[in-house]
Structure 1
């Protein structure tokens, strides 16, 4: 637990990763913290089953985001956490997946630290680990990939370009978060920088949920697969995706 200097009547914030979708993947600590919260500030992808764990009198604040639309801007979310904690509440900031992997959890904690609010972090199973496991796609495998890289499909905040050349020249498994809309660009950049257009890949839609679907193909068919999938979805590039047919246990 990370504790900061704070006033005697200030509350406390728990940053909790809810996991990728299946409510059974919530951690035991996450379960306990949610049940004791006075205020739950939650994102769009948190399941109703997990939200139902909160106390009946807990204040539930929705701050979900989806592509090209933010219900509540990030700076306003940060302020909500500060204000609720300063009112003396036990606050849970509940995010899908893991809060520190493309979840802006670090930004929110920076704001809390700057305002003298005490906090803790409860990790969650990130979508890349959960969705691929439920799809029977090992992220690493001695015969296929010795490492894995997680990449955001969104344009970086400062406009910097992804290091496409290093991604394309590696034998890693590549996992793109939030990449459906950028699938054509991802394909073009990887092929342009040297990755074989026949490299196997997959798109996992609604990973770990009962409605999960897995699309398989080659890199040059990725835009077509992405057009058939709906958000939330992950793009996985690498030969490990070929193991889906053999290892698929969840269907």
Structure 2
């Protein structure tokens, strides 16, 4: 059989099984091998053909089943032995998902490569809690920043973002929360609203809302931990404002 090695990097969305694109589902059905991460909703694997091979390559509680170099090699090896490899990643594979690196490696080894974008958790998770990243009069732009760089340091971009009026969304930042809070305090933004959302868009979703000064205590009280997204900005107040509007309507209907 003449095998045509191919890699498709697919975004699985933020967690809710319904937040995956039709194109992604069709790609999963066509796969000969699927390499999937820990943050991928396992229900999505039901779309994969029974003839396809499923390989878990994710990280759980700091333990790596495969190092990135091994994943790259596995993609190429399975591509040449099986054909169509789908690399299924949580959220969008081009937003801190290392999808670009995997595509470059596979392409350099002679594989055809393509990507199916996914709904990023940076957008969808706040939205599920009625937090818009932009809102007229509150925020004209937003930053999406990784909390931890390749060198395991806090991203320098957070200090720059803290100086702006933009909404700031930080992924993989819970371990650096104290440092993040300090940067915003140094800019005099002690009362800036903050939301931390854990396991966003899933049945296990938890949220804590406070200010730059209070959010660390909120995290302790709510027992929030990874995987979580940090949102800083006036737009966090939209959630409360919307709830108040809805409550006022209910009260008027009762009266």
Q: Same fold (TM over 0.5)?
A: yes
CA distance in 2, matches of 1:42, 1:154: 22
Gaps of 5+ in 1: 1-7
Quote how far apart the aligned CAs of 1:46 are: 0.7
* Conserved? CA contact 2:146–2:155, under 8 Å: no
* Matches for 1:41-52 after TM superposition, within 5 Å: 41-52=35-46
2:224 counterpart residue number: 229
Instruction: Tell me if 1:189 matches 2:180.
Output: no
1:213 counterpart residue number: 206
Quote how far apart the aligned CAs of 1:211 are: 2.3
Change (3 A) 1:160 1:184: closer
Which stretch shifts more, 45-54 or 219-228?
A: 219-228
Instruction: Tell me if 1:111 matches 2:70.
Output: no
* Conserved? CA contact 1:207–1:233, under 8 Å: yes
Quote how far apart the aligned CAs of 1:66 are: 3.8
Match of 2:162 among 168, 173, 177: 168
CA distance in 1, matches of 2:61, 2:159: 27
Quote how far apart the aligned CAs of 1:222 are: 2.4
Quote how far apart the aligned CAs of 1:137 are: 0.2
Match of 1:239 among 226, 234, 238: 234
* Conserved? CA contact 1:137–1:247, under 8 Å: no
Match of 2:52 among 39, 48, 58: 58
Change (3 A) 1:52 1:185: same
Quote how far apart the aligned CAs of 1:240 are: 0.4
Q: TM-score, normalised by structure 2?
A: 0.89
CA distance in 1, matches of 2:205, 2:242: 15
Gaps of 5+ in 2: 247-255
For these two proteins, the number of residue pairs brought into alignment is: 241
* Matches for 1:93-104 after TM superposition, within 5 Å: 93-104=87-98
Which structure: larger Rg? 2
Quote how far apart the aligned CAs of 1:89 are: 1.7
Q: TM-score, normalised by structure 1?
A: 0.90
Quote how far apart the aligned CAs of 1:195 are: 4.2
Per-residue Cα deviation, 1:12-64 (whole angstroms, up to 9, x for no partner): 11100000000101000000010121111000011121112111221110011
CA distance in 2, matches of 1:226, 1:108: 35
Relative contact order, higher structure (CA 8 A, sep 6+): 1
CA distance in 2, matches of 1:28, 1:161: 34
CA distance in 1, matches of 2:205, 2:152: 34
> Which structure carries more helix by proportion?
2
Instruction: Tell me if 1:24 matches 2:18.
Output: yes
**Structure 1 residue runs of 4 or more that deviate by more than 6 Å after TM superposition:** none
Match of 1:179 among 167, 173, 192: 173
